[in-house]
Amino acid sequence: MIALRRPSLAKQLAGDRIAAVGRRGKYPVIELASGRKLVVSLRMTGRLIVQRQTDALYPYTNVFIDFTDGTRLAFADVRRFGRMRLVQKEEMWDSELGIEPLSREFDIPRFAAILKGRPTAIKAFLLDQRRIAGVGNIYAAEALWVSQIKPATPAGKLSRERVGRLHAALQAVLLKAIEMRGTSSRDYVDAEGMEGGFQNELTVYGRAGEPCPRCKKPLVRTVLAQRGTWWCRNCQR
Ligand SMILES: [Zn+2]
């Protein structure tokens, strides 16, 4: 790792190597051989792109890192809300983030315990990154439709049977989205510059007025905790 357009970061990163690339919640995490981490917040329009240093710089690149093998990691962001943060070796950076929904620890009893007594609408609860990390608006809407749960239902009021259904739906939706390389409902592309495919699998998100694929009644869009919420009034209860 040799150069970076932002000089303060460049000095700190010079000579380090990438050991692994992972994710925590919505944040890609680049683990360095030194034990430090580069944590990336993509926000609305941020992208990480791997390219050759001889290629034209990716449009709207704010930061790039050049490697000794001739590759370049570009962090591009049209709206510039994205962030890249260098986390020191022992630094706790994710204590505000909740459980990973695809982890082994996230089983049905654990999910039920997290929901217990919470008056928050289940849709807003799913988006709260301090409870469960990594579920966004699209995937929350889809999982609630699959499990036939009304988005405004208080989280703590779900029966054990419905908690089990939602747990299965959440994991299925997330795994399918990962398999399809994400959702390019606006302009998301992955590190290879490829669009995701999950936008073609969406059953409710962005489909107000279209027939519910299950019961054929028109889907609706309402606003819940300031977020657009797509659902079926007929078969989500
Ligand atoms: Zn329906």
Using 50, 70 and 90 to split pLDDT, how confident is the model at 195?
confident
Distance 178 CA to ligand 1 centre (A): 25
- Least confident interval from 26-30, 82-86, 154-158, 189-193: 189-193
Cα(169) to centroid(ligand 1), Å? 16
202 C-alpha to ligand 1 centroid (Å): 14
Instruction: Report the separation in Å between the CA atom of 86 and the middle of ligand 1, taken as the mean of its atom positions.
Output: 46
Q: 143 CA distance to ligand 1 centroid (A)?
A: 13
Q: How far is the CA of 163 from the centre of ligand 1 (A)?
A: 19
Per-residue model confidence as pLDDT tens digits over 129-172: 999 999 999 999 999 999 999 999 999 999 999 999 999 999 99
Answer yes or no: pTM beyond 0.85.
yes
| Ligand 1 centroid distance, CA of 107 (Å) | 27
- Beta strands in 123-218, from DSSP E residues, in sequence order: none
d(CA 231, ligand 1 centre) in Å = 8
Distance CA 112, CA 163 (A): 6
CA 114 to centroid of ligand 1, rounded, Å: 28
CA of 218 to the centre of ligand 1 (A): 8
The alpha carbon of 142 and the centre of ligand 1 are apart by a number of angstroms equal to: 12
Interatomic CA distance for residues 197 and 16, integer angstroms = 34
pLDDT for res 40: 92
Measure the CA–CA gap between 46 and 28, rounded to whole angstroms: 11
Q: What are phi and psi of 99, to 5 degrees?
A: -70, 150
For the chain, give percent helix, strand, coil, nearest 5. 25, 25, 50
- E strand spans, the chain: 3-4, 18-24, 27-32, 37-41, 46-52, 61-66, 71-77, 83-87, 220-224, 227-231
DSSP bridge partners of 77: 46
Residue 219 Cα to ligand 1 midpoint, Å, equals 7
The pLDDT value given to residue 7: 61
Residue 196 C-alpha to ligand 1 middle, in angstroms? 26
Instruction: Place 186 in a pLDDT band, splitting at 50, 70 and 90.
Output: low
The angle subtended at Cα 56 by Cα 52 and Cα 58, nearest 5°, is: 85
pLDDT at residue 33 in the model? 97
Residue 152 CA to ligand 1 centre (angstroms): 16
